[in-house]
């Protein structure tokens, strides 16, 4: 490269030439001041050169040049040389620009002055600039990709010796995953040689990377690092620059260890694979079936060859087929997954299954093992769980992601639909506005958000964004930059994500618990029954640690009663290799309890990997106990049903018993039968004996004559079961009289023993009103304590017996009362007939006397004058009132003797009565209706209209109204007279009450009205014609029953 010409004083040609160079140039004058910095050096250091021109060279080195040199020793050497007036150096330094780029440059300080100034050259910038241009196009994009993948990424440059042979490689850049996997911090290793960081590296690594550079072809290989004890999966890619290459690697130590373990046990577990009772499928990521076991063939009805020729989607129901790809991807991503689906057998059967899938090593690659268990019995009980799992999948599918595209100056923005839907803002809303001001109103908070967006800080940070409706949306954001400086912000609404994460954790926990708790026991034992393998599930089910069972005989755990069928099953399995033998046995739990297990035995003695019997055992203890409880309940229920049927039959017989003695006999026979007793007795309480009554023996079964006489009467203080029950008013049970304290040394105990009685129960007989009626007792020859069902039966019998006894007593009392009432009714009827005879005679004779007296009174009125005439008129009025009284009495008697009610034309009755009151003002509009009454109905209107005219005063107007209401007829008789005070209204319809008559009338008219209306099924009342104004007249209203016109 030609030497540059320094700028001449007062000329612009010099600086222009230096700026055109591809290498960096620094000029220092004699006063140790910076005379010139050309453009390439300005870009390398990331500075503005104009303010620096003329500044002290030492200050320039300290502030600008030194911080950019990674190697501190190199930086100190350059600074020392520049501070000396005469010195020359040539050194290779590694620079880190302010933008983070790593640049290797040769720094050359010339010893001889150049036109009076010292010249410092920075060679290699041109080559680095070309690499930067190429790398800038993909660096950031790849960085974001690798960061999201979670794999290690490193950028290297090969180091060669003088002969061009590779000896090491320089670390140029790494990502965070590299730091995590390799356990090295970025600041400590970037710019260093790999052997300096990791001494003792295998030469094979360097040779493989050199081959990638020589062939310019990517390579992939696995490598083991003895120093760290780790395996790595490595992908190496050549770069366009000389001797530079990129490496992507993932630690696979765990996978390699699992692969080796799987290879060691593949043959052994292949046999277990075939003998498993669950259907097992091995398939690839596209769902192609690679292998199946015998259970899958038998369950689905296909041959093995047919299954290996189809995919998973061909054996699941159509509604589940679309889910297979998503489920496969989920298994690949998570490594393991449990889900439910439904298989479709060849014969069309739908088989719901629970499938546990996981990624496994398979034929130098990976495949997916699916273990499918028939869950037909469990399906209904797990419906809620399935629904929650479906909801969980939908939630994951609908998580929103917001995308915002913006420039580095945060002036132009574009965003996607999720952003608009989440925050409500559209491009139209922010047209002409600053989006940052809109979504971050607070200036300080907005400045922090802007700094984060412009800095491209790696990782996610949470921000509170203001939505269009003013609400605050908590979100998490990450930023990336494209090659053209375009920035992309990725935002997630944290509300939905947090809910989804919580649902995911809950669902995974539920699936894990189901998987752990639903596992069956798997045992392997030899021909002598010695156990060689026990699965982990033996611990939660049997309480044994798997290692504690190894070497022990399986028969020592079997219940003695189940040993013969267990040995027989083993003999059948030995005689038929390959055929499954099933049986149910009881085995001892570690806690000494007995478990019921459903066993499936497979003879695999001929399999070299097993050399024994494989047993799948499922715990069915709860089912067996439940079956036993059901059987016991059925027996108990049958016994109670028999007792109930017997009680029903006895109840019918008791009701039909015509004698009380027969009733007692039926009760005793029933008690003996339903309780399987040897003796029985029934006693009634006689409250008239003693202070609180005594029990009288009315019947018994099995007593000796001596025992019957002894218990003929029992008082509350008696030392017997019935005496105790009489004192306490509660049931008494003596399971064994020899152990009863209150019977000890008593005469009752001696009689019981002589009679042959060892156990007694006494139940009080109570009426429904709570009155104690007596006692019902049963006795047994042996010690006996009644069961709950027996006591329920005796309670039912006691209730029936008490009801029947109480009813029989009530019937007897009712019969006596009825006979007494009949007798009194006959006597009363005879007295009434006698009274009616006298009344008829009296009424007839008085009426005749009144007729004669009336004629004479008429003559006296016409023949006399003055006071005599007045006296004659009063006499005539008194005779009229006497006649009216006789008429009322006759009406009352007639009302009592009237045969019955018949349809009566109400309109005709009213019109006939109005016609009898000539000269009176009576208004009636007419209303054709039939009512239920008799021949005395006119009397009602005679009294009401007559009273209105008589007491209404001169000019009174009477109005009769008829209305139909709800099947009734309302009749009103209103007048414009002086009315009736409220105090009088309450007693106006009482017999002999004359109301406002002031001495006239006998007070029977309105009483007769009330009697007749009540006879017709109606009601009568008096109100003010004008409500609240008694002085405006009265209104008498009564109701009658309406009858259809046809009768």
Question: Position of tokens 């998490």?
Answer: 476
Cβ count near 855 (within 10 Å): 11
Across the chain, how many H-helices and E-strands are there?
34, 38
Query: Whole-angstrom Cα distance, residue 787 to residue 638?
Result: 14
Query: Whole-angstrom Cα distance, residue 536 to residue 652?
Result: 65
Tokens encoding 379 = 């399906």
Q: Are 1011 and 1017 in contact (CB under 8 A)?
A: no
Determine the Cα angle at 513 with ends 512 and 518, to 5°.
Answer: 105
Domains and CATH numbers, the chain: 13-130 (3.30.450.20), 138-251 (3.30.450.20), 256-383 (3.30.450.20), 401-508 (3.30.450.20), 527-619 (3.30.450.20), 657-786 (3.30.450.40), 898-1043 (3.30.565.10)
pLDDT at 700: 92
Region for residue 818 given its phi and psi (left: phi exceeds 0; alpha: psi -120 to 50; beta: otherwise): alpha
pLDDT at 639: 59
Task: Measure CA 748 to chain center.
Answer: 63
Nearest to 29 by CA among 19, 40, 21, 37: 37
Nearest to 497 by CA among 476, 512, 515, 483: 476
**Strand ranges, E, within 540-675:** 581-588, 594-604, 612-619
Q: Are 760 and 737 in contact (CB under 8 A)?
A: yes
Give exposure, 1004-1027, as e/b (b: 16+ Cβ within 10 Å).
Answer: bbbbbbbbbbebbebebebebbee
Query: Whole-angstrom Cα distance, residue 90 to residue 246?
Result: 30
3-state secondary structure of 983: helix
Q: Are strands 152-160 and 930-933 parallel, antiparallel or unpaired?
A: unpaired
Q: Are 275 and 609 in contact (CB under 8 A)?
A: no
pLDDT at 711: 92
Tokens encoding 837 = 């005879």
Q: Please list, in sequence order, all residues whose beta carbon lies within 8 angstroms of the beta carbon of residue 485, skipping any fewer than 6 positions away.
A: 407, 408
Q: Please list, in sequence order, all residues whose beta carbon lies within 8 angstroms of the beta carbon of residue 729, skipping any fewer than 6 positions away.
A: 764, 772
User: Side-chain half-sphere of 452: how many Cα atoms within 13 Å?
Assistant: 19
Query: Whole-angstrom Cα distance, residue 403 to residue 8?
Result: 55
User: Side-chain half-sphere of 370: how many Cα atoms within 13 Å?
Assistant: 28
Following CA atoms 879, 881, 883, 887 in sequence, which dihedral angle do they give, to the nearest 10 degrees?
Answer: 180
Tokens encoding 377 = 């019995």
pLDDT at 505: 77
pLDDT at 960: 95
pLDDT at 998: 37
Following CA atoms 641, 642, 644, 646 in sequence, which dihedral angle do they give, to the nearest 10 degrees?
Answer: 160
Q: Are 419 and 530 in contact (CB under 8 A)?
A: no
3-state secondary structure of 479: strand
The number of residues making up the chain comes to 1047
pLDDT at 394: 45
Q: Are 920 and 958 in contact (CB under 8 A)?
A: yes
Helix (H) or strand (E) holding 895: helix 866-897
Query: Whole-angstrom Cα distance, residue 193 to residue 449?
Result: 38
Tokens encoding 559 = 């219940």
Cβ count near 192 (within 10 Å): 15
Q: Please list, in sequence order, all residues whose beta carbon lies within 8 angstroms of the beta carbon of residue 316, skipping any fewer than 6 positions away.
A: 324, 341, 342, 343, 344
Query: What are the backbone angles phi and psi of residue 671, rounded to the nearest 5°?
Result: -60, -45
Average pLDDT along the chain, 1047 residues, taken 10 residues at a time: 41 55 80 86 86 87 85 81 71 75 70 68 59 50 51 86 91 83 82 84 83 88 75 82 80 74 65 82 91 91 92 90 90 89 92 91 87 83 57 42 83 81 85 87 91 84 90 87 78 76 69 51 89 86 87 90 90 85 89 86 83 87 81 65 59 54 81 90 89 89 92 89 91 94 91 94 91 93 91 86 78 77 75 64 64 72 78 70 62 60 92 89 93 90 89 89 91 91 78 47 73 90 90 92 76
Nearest to 151 by CA among 217, 228, 220, 207: 220
pLDDT at 923: 94
Largest CA distance in the chain: 188
**Sheet of 89-96, strands arranged across:** 34-37, 24-28, 118-123, 102-109, 89-96
Q: Are strands 957-965 and 118-123 parallel, antiparallel or unpaired?
A: unpaired
Question: Position of tokens 């099953």?
Answer: 569
Ranges of H-type helices in 705-772: 705-710, 721-728, 747-755
Q: Are strands 930-933 and 902-905 parallel, antiparallel or unpaired?
A: antiparallel
Q: Are strands 594-604 and 581-588 parallel, antiparallel or unpaired?
A: antiparallel
Cβ count near 564 (within 10 Å): 10
**Strand ranges, E, within 735-829:** 759-766, 772-780
Nearest to 232 by CA among 205, 197, 269: 205
Rg (CA), the chain: 59
Q: Are 465 and 475 in contact (CB under 8 A)?
A: yes
Query: What are the backbone angles phi and psi of residue 693, rounded to the nearest 5°?
Result: 95, 160
């Amino acid at each position: 490269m030609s030497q540059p010409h320094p700028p001449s004083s007062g000329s612009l040609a010099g600086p222009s030439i230096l700026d055109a160079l591809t290498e960096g140039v620094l000029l220092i004058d004699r006063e140790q001041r910076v005379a010139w910095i050309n453009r390439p050096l300005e870009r390398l250091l990331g500075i503005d050169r104009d303010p620096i021109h003329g500044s002290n060279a030492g200050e320039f080195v300290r502030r600008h040049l030194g911080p950019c040199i990674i190697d501190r020793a190199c930086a100190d050497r350059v600074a020392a040389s520049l501070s000396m007036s005469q010195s020359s150096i040539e050194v290779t330094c590694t620079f880190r620009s302010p933008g983070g780029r790593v640049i290797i440059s040769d720094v050359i300080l010339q010893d001889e002055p150049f036109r009076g100034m010292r010249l410092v050259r920075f060679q290699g910038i041109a080559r680095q600039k070309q690499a930067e241009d190429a790398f800038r196009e993909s660096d950031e994009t790849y960085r974001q990709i690798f960061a999201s993948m979670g794999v290690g990424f490193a950028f290297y440059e090969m180091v060669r010796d003088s002969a061009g042979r590779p000896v090491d490689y320089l670390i140029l850049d790494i990502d965070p995953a590299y730091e995590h996997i390799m356990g090295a911090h970025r600041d400590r290793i970037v710019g260093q040689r790999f052997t300096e960081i990791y001494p003792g590296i295998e030469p094979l690594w360097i040779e493989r990377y050199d081959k990638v550079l020589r062939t310019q072809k990517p390579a992939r290989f696995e490598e083991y690092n003895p120093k760290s004890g780790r395996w790595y999966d490595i992908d190496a890619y050549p770069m366009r620059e000389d001797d530079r290459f990129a490496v992507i690697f993932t630690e696979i130590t765990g996978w390699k260890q699992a692969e080796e373990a799987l290879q060691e046990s593949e043959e052994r577990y292949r046999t277990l694979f075939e003998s498993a009772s669950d259907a097992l499928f091995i398939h690839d990521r596209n769902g192609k079936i690679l292998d199946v076991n015998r259970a899958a063939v038998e369950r689905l009805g296909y041959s093995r060859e047919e299954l290996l020729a189809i995919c998973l989607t061909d054996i699941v129901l159509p509604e589940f087929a679309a889910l297979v790809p998503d489920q496969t991807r989920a298994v690949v991503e998570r490594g393991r997954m449990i889900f439910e689906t439904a298989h479709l057998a060849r014969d069309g059967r739908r088989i719901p299954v629970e499938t546990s899938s996981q990624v496994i090593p398979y034929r130098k690659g990976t495949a997916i093992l699916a273990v499918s268990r028939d869950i037909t019995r469990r399906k209904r009980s797990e419906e809620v769980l399935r629904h929650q799992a479906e909801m969980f999948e939908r939630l994951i599918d609908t998580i929103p992601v917001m995308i915002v595209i913006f420039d580095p100056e945060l002036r132009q923005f574009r965003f996607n639909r999720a952003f608009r839907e989440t925050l409500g803002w559209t491009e139209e809303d922010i047209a002409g506005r600053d989006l940052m001001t809109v979504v971050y109103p607070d200036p300080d908070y907005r400045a922090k958000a802007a700094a984060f967006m412009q800095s491209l800080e790696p990782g996610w940070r949470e921000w509170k964004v203001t939505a269009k409706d003013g609400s605050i949306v908590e979100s998490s954001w990450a930023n990336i930059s494209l090659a053209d400086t375009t920035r992309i912000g990725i935002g997630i609404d944290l509300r939905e994500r947090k809910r989804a994460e919580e649902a995911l954790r809950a669902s995974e926990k539920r699936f894990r618990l189901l998987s752990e708790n639903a596992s069956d026991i798997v045992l392997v034992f030899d021909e002598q029954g010695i156990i060689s393998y026990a699965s982990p599930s033996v611990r939660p089910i049997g309480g044994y640690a798997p290692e504690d069972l190894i070497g022990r005989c399986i028969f020592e755990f079997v219940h003695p009663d189940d040993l013969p069928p267990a040995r027989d099953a083993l003999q059948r399995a030995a005689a038929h290799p390959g055929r499954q033998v099933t049986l149910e046995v009881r085995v001892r739990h570690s806690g000494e309890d007995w478990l019921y297990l459903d066993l499936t035995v497979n003879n695999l003695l001929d399999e070299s990997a097993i050399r024994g019997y494989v047993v799948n055992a499922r715990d069915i203890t709860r089912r067996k106990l439940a079956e036993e409880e059901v059987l016991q309940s059925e027996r108990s229920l049958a016994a109670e049903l028999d007792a109930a049927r017997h009680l029903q039959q006895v109840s019918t017989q008791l009701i039909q018993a015509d004698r009380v003695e027969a009733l007692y006999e039926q009760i005793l026979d029933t008690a003996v039968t339903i309780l399987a007793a040897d003796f029985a007795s029934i006693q009634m309480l006689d409250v008239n004996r003693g202070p609180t009554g005594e029990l009288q023996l009315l019947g018994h079964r099995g007593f000796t004559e001596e025992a019957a006489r002894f218990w003929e009467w029992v008082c509350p203080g008696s030392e017997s079961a019935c005496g105790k029950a009489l004192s306490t008013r509660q049931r008494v049970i003596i399971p064994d009289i020899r152990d009863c304290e209150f019977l000890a040394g008593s005469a009752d105990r001696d009689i019981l023993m002589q009679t042959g009685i060892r156990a007694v129960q006494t139940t009080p007989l109570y009426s429904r009103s709570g009155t104690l009626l007596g006692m019902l007792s049963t006795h047994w020859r042996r010690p006996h304590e009644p069961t709950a069902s027996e006591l329920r039966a005796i309670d039912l019998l006691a209730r029936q017996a008490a009801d029947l006894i109480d009813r029989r007593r009530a019937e007897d009392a009712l019969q006596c009362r009825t006979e007494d009432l009949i007798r009194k009714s006959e006597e009363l009827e005879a007295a009434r007939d006698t009274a009616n005879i006298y009344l008829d005679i009296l009424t007839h004779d008085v009426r005749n006397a009144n007729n004669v007296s009336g004629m004479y009174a008429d003559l006296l009125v016409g023949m006399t004058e003055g006071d005599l005439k007045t006296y004659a008129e009063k006499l005539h009025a008194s005779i009229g009132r006497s006649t009216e009284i006789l008429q009322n009495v006759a009406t009352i008697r007639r009302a009592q003797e009237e045969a019955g009610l018949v349809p009566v034309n109400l309109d005709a009755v009213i019109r006939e009565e109005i016609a009898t009151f000539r000269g009176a003002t009576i208004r009636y509009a007419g209303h054709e209706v039939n009512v239920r009454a008799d021949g005395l109905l006119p009397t009602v209107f005679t009294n009401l209209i007559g009273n209105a005219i008589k007491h209404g005063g001169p000019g009174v107007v009477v109005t009769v109204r008829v209305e139909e209401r709800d099947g009734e007829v309302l009749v009103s008789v209103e007048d414009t007279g002086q009315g009736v005070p409220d105090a009088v209204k309450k007693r106006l319809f009482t017999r002999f009450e004359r109301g406002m008559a002031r001495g006239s009338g006998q007070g029977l008219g309105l009483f007769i009205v009330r009697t007749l209306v009540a006879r017709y099924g109606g009601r009568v009342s008096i109100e003010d014609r004008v409500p609240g104004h008694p002085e405006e007249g009265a209104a008498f209203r009564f109701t009658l029953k309406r009858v259809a016109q046809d009768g």
